Structure 1
Amino acid sequence: MKQRAPWSAAVVLGLALASGCGSAAAPGPSGGSGDALVVWDWKSGDADAAAYLDKAKADFATRHPDVDVEFVAQPFDQYYTLLGAAIQAGRGPDVMLFNGGGQLRDRVDALVPLDEYVDQDRQRLSGWEAFTRDGKTYASPVTLQGHPLYYNKALYEQAGLDPEAPADTWDDFVGDCGAIAGRTGATCFGVGNKEGIGIQFFLSAMGSAVLTPAEYDDWIAGKRNWSSPDVKRIFELWEQVGDAGLNNDGINSTAMFNDAFALFQSGKAAHVIGLMSDIGHWKDFAEFLDRDDVGVMAAPVVNPAATPSLPYDGGIGYAVAKWTRDPEVAADLVRSLTSSEALKAFHADAGAIASDTTIDVSAGGPAVTAITAAIRTGKPALHVALSSRTLDLMGRLSQQLVSGSATVDEAVAQLAVSDAAG
């Protein structure tokens, strides 16, 4: 993702290990009145997050005028390494940003359960499940994040296809991709798997078009059968899409952020599995394509017994470190970071699909309208249910499937072992 921290990673890592970053005024944990709360994230350096943070800080200041708040933006590609070092040292930021799913769940021993502090926000905010483990909530959702299948309506028109009626079966979809390639030169998919992220997007976007509803629900519930023909079919499809030339060249050397998205935005790829919130999404794409040409389609059905749905969860959320001096004050900052006025600004400026479902998104255009309509029948994303260790392994194996150095049977067998290990 975007890199923006003015501090070098080495300096931040040294601070985490040597002196702690829990207070701007003194070493050690912080959080008490008159002290500073330090927040680590990868968003606060973005210009389009400025109004969001201003609103959140103003809200917090009304209740805690004597508590300073310092945001430290870290480079995303090193974020969890730096955070891991701080956790190992037992000293670091008071409040920290997490992606929903395994990245948070693998680190809950270092976090404060927030249930007693955020009860008032339960009905207003959605996406809580991605930030829970063993029945306890460890972060408050800021955004909802999902993986829509975007398509370029202008390319469909150029290929003689109906841009308002994209294919709803896999065979028809592949046929349409052939027509688009033949008449426009665009590839079917824009994909980036340099970091092993492409497979995560593919698994979650295409999974509901392959798995039966019962298999899908079992997967989310932790009852994953890696030897199931339908589970194997997803990974076979990943392999076959590449072999059939439906992807851009060199996906294992193409970064998802933002090279794969650039292929879609520039009209070199007709489809991309993107995000629905704040980066690689409808608002970004509309800066390069006509807003009305950014389409959102359901995953084309591979298995007739499947029911495609939008995969989404809580996207990003703020958590409180165990070492903070005053968890209640730190949790109050989290509440300000998820306040309605702050989230309205985040949606308006960054295009975030906020966790606050009361926010009006009607001005966002047809793509965001389609996304928000699909939320009603959406389901949690398949990859978010996996541990960070299994996701890392899946990324490496997905690259090997592309290069031909691993088979699908070998890949799913290794993933089954990793998943069973927890």
Structure 2
Amino acid sequence: MRRRTRWAALLLAAAALAGCGSASGPASPSGGGTKKLVVWDWKSGDDATAAYLDRAKAGFAKRHPGVTVEFVAQPFDQYYTLLGTAIQAGRGPDVMLFNGGGRIRDRTDALVPLDPYVAGDRDRLTGWDAFREGGRTYAAPVTLQGHPIYYDKKLYEQAGLDPDRPPATWSAFLDACATLRKKTGTACVALGNKEGAGIQFFLSGLGSGALTDREYDDWIAGRRDWTSPHVKRIFELWKETDAAGLDNKGANSTALFNDAFALFSSGKAAHVIGLMSDVGHWKDFAEFLAPDDIGVMRAPVITAGATPSLPYDGGIGYAVAKWTPDPVLAADLVRSLTSRDALAAFHADAGAIVSDTSIDVPKDGPAVSAILSEIESGEPALHVALSSRTLDLMGRLSQQLLSGSVTVDEALRQLAVSDREG
């Protein structure tokens, strides 16, 4: 069975590599050959991004009328595996989409530094740091990605809680959870950790309420102390909340995307640490919940003196492959994909909080207004500072913590080693 699965993956990778920019001839605006750029992402197959891509392509076509742009939507759950195959082969798409953080930082050897090409967009866009490594920029941010804690105001009202005053401390949060369970019968927190990603949301969503300001800054700067009692407390709470029945049943067998979010939007859980881009966010939830019933709260204070804030970074961004025949042309496509006109469409249709925060976007309910008001004082998300290797390990250990097969101390010891080794 493993052999069949491996061959299936190899065949899929081979098929994906068939749609590569370098295989289509040089993409030069002035040279000969087929003028074509191939883009890999996991967004172009979504109806919600159609207008965004149409505007980006239209703007690019005005400047380069003889160039064809082909978007190839890859399945997200296999995206980085396919991309790794392309990188090993040294041929693939000209432009590719990345999540900010470790996913791109671990692959910068295969990318073109974009600093000379995006200098004019520095002040217009925000979220650049998530796509930087070694003082260089490797992708231009399209969206901002953060982890607000959403809560169901309607359930608060049913439980006799004030929907406009969510709990500000961890003890008050536990009291609210007990009341919600007693009065409504719902889980307090919707959690999905089947992919091992739930721990990332938990760490970043609650971290600013647990770490001191100095610890938070040191973590982001790479001076992480995994032995800190405040770091340990986050992982203890990860285990304790599940053991106490605050989470939905079977978190380790519940997919974060999109089963956990569905539990929240269907009224089966009162809180969820979600996203602010274009999935698992306020607009998704508003399909089932009235916009006025979706609240956003700061992390409850776990450690006295902590300063809760909205955790966010650059969300997704487009990068240029080192093997592209014409990096100048490819970089100009990236600029089109982050143009003001295109990003305005992304927000309007997908609800994404885009990297150009000067765009006058509609305030579709109190949740998005609350998120936008927090951006200026927000801090980088804790998990985004970690390497993809450490994130993968943290995902596995988070599942073992919930199952009881590893202790918090042992999990932190392994994470410290992984983080130190990069």
Q: TM-score range by the shorter chain?
A: over 0.9
**Counterpart in 2 of 1:334?**
334
User: What SS is found at the alignment partner of 1:69?
Assistant: strand
**Counterpart in 2 of 1:130?**
130
Q: What letter corresponds to residue 22 of structure 1 in structure 2?
A: G
**Counterpart in 2 of 1:4?**
none
**Counterpart in 1 of 2:386?**
386
Cα distance, 1:20 vs. partner?
6.6
Q: Is the 8 A contact 2:180 2:186 kept in 1?
A: yes
Cα distance, 1:365 vs. partner?
1.5
Counterpart-to-counterpart distance in 1, 2:25 and 2:143: 28
Q: Is the 8 A contact 2:24 2:36 kept in 1?
A: no
Note the alpha carbon deviations across 1:362-387, whole angstroms, 9 max, x for none: 43221000001111110000000000
Counterpart-to-counterpart distance in 1, 2:217 and 2:382: 9
Q: What letter corresponds to residue 156 of structure 1 in structure 2?
A: Y
Cα distance, 1:30 vs. partner?
3.9
Matched, 1:22 2:21: yes
Counterpart-to-counterpart distance in 2, 1:385 and 1:364: 31
Q: What letter corresponds to residue 20 of structure 2 in structure 1?
A: C
Matched, 1:32 2:32: no
Cα–Cα, structure 1 residues 20 and 55, in superposed 2: closer, same or farther, change >3 Å?
A: closer
User: What SS is found at the alignment partner of 1:209?
Assistant: helix
Q: Is the 8 A contact 2:60 2:332 kept in 1?
A: yes
Alignment of 1:334-373 (within 5 A): 334-373=334-373
**Counterpart in 2 of 1:399?**
399
Q: What letter corresponds to residue 358 of structure 1 in structure 2?
A: S
**Counterpart in 2 of 1:410?**
410
Cα distance, 1:219 vs. partner?
0.1
**Counterpart in 1 of 2:5?**
none
Counterpart-to-counterpart distance in 2, 1:249 and 1:62: 53
Counterpart-to-counterpart distance in 2, 1:371 and 1:323: 39
Cα distance, 1:9 vs. partner?
6.3
Counterpart-to-counterpart distance in 1, 2:217 and 2:64: 43
Note the alpha carbon deviations across 1:188-226, whole angstroms, 9 max, x for none: 000000000000000000000000000000000000000
Counterpart-to-counterpart distance in 2, 1:227 and 1:113: 36
User: What SS is found at the alignment partner of 1:235?
Assistant: helix
Counterpart-to-counterpart distance in 1, 2:189 and 2:337: 36
Cα distance, 1:237 vs. partner?
0.8
User: What SS is found at the alignment partner of 1:72?
Assistant: strand
- Identity percentage of aligned residues: 71
Cα distance, 1:11 vs. partner?
5.0
Counterpart-to-counterpart distance in 1, 2:65 and 2:10: 33
Shift >6 Å, 4+ stretches: none
Cα distance, 1:129 vs. partner?
0.1
Counterpart-to-counterpart distance in 2, 1:111 and 1:406: 38
Q: What letter corresponds to residue 32 of structure 1 in structure 2?
A: S
Alignment of 1:166-315 (within 5 A): 166-315=166-315
Cα distance, 1:16 vs. partner?
5.1
Q: Is the 8 A contact 1:143 1:317 kept in 2?
A: yes
Note the alpha carbon deviations across 1:69-98, whole angstroms, 9 max, x for none: 000000000000000000000000000000
Q: What letter corresponds to residue 172 of structure 1 in structure 2?
A: A
Cα distance, 1:32 vs. partner?
1.7
Cα distance, 1:360 vs. partner?
1.6
**Counterpart in 2 of 1:420?**
420
User: What SS is found at the alignment partner of 1:181?
Assistant: helix
User: What SS is found at the alignment partner of 1:295?
Assistant: strand
Q: What letter corresponds to residue 273 of structure 1 in structure 2?
A: I
Q: Is the 8 A contact 2:344 2:361 kept in 1?
A: no
Structure 2: 5+ residue runs without aligned partners? 1-7
Alignment of 1:36-55 (within 5 A): 36-55=36-55
Counterpart-to-counterpart distance in 1, 2:10 and 2:20: 14
Q: Is the 8 A contact 1:16 1:82 kept in 2?
A: yes
Q: Is the 8 A contact 2:41 2:73 kept in 1?
A: yes
**Counterpart in 1 of 2:3?**
none
**8-17 vs 183-192, which deviates more?**
8-17
Q: What letter corresponds to residue 175 of structure 1 in structure 2?
A: D
**Counterpart in 1 of 2:100?**
100
Counterpart-to-counterpart distance in 2, 1:77 and 1:29: 29
Counterpart-to-counterpart distance in 2, 1:9 and 1:145: 30
User: What SS is found at the alignment partner of 1:145?
Assistant: strand
Counterpart-to-counterpart distance in 2, 1:164 and 1:30: 58
Structure 1: 5+ residue runs without aligned partners? 1-7
Counterpart-to-counterpart distance in 2, 1:151 and 1:401: 25
Number of residue equivalences: 411
Q: What letter corresponds to residue 409 of structure 2 in structure 1?
A: D
**Counterpart in 1 of 2:141?**
141
User: What SS is found at the alignment partner of 1:363?
Assistant: coil
User: What SS is found at the alignment partner of 1:341?
Assistant: helix
Q: What letter corresponds to residue 70 of structure 1 in structure 2?
A: E
Q: Is the 8 A contact 2:291 2:364 kept in 1?
A: no
Cα distance, 1:31 vs. partner?
2.1
Q: What letter corresponds to residue 283 of structure 1 in structure 2?
A: K
Q: What letter corresponds to residue 78 of structure 2 in structure 1?
A: Q
Q: Is the 8 A contact 2:19 2:72 kept in 1?
A: no
Q: What letter corresponds to residue 184 of structure 1 in structure 2?
A: T
Q: What letter corresponds to residue 190 of structure 1 in structure 2?
A: A
TM-score, normalization by structure 2: 0.96
Counterpart-to-counterpart distance in 1, 2:357 and 2:372: 9
Cα–Cα, structure 1 residues 246 and 30, in superposed 2: closer, same or farther, change >3 Å?
A: farther
Q: Is the 8 A contact 1:16 1:89 kept in 2?
A: no
Counterpart-to-counterpart distance in 2, 1:20 and 1:247: 43
Q: Is the 8 A contact 2:113 2:137 kept in 1?
A: yes
Counterpart-to-counterpart distance in 1, 2:20 and 2:336: 21
Counterpart-to-counterpart distance in 2, 1:236 and 1:361: 40
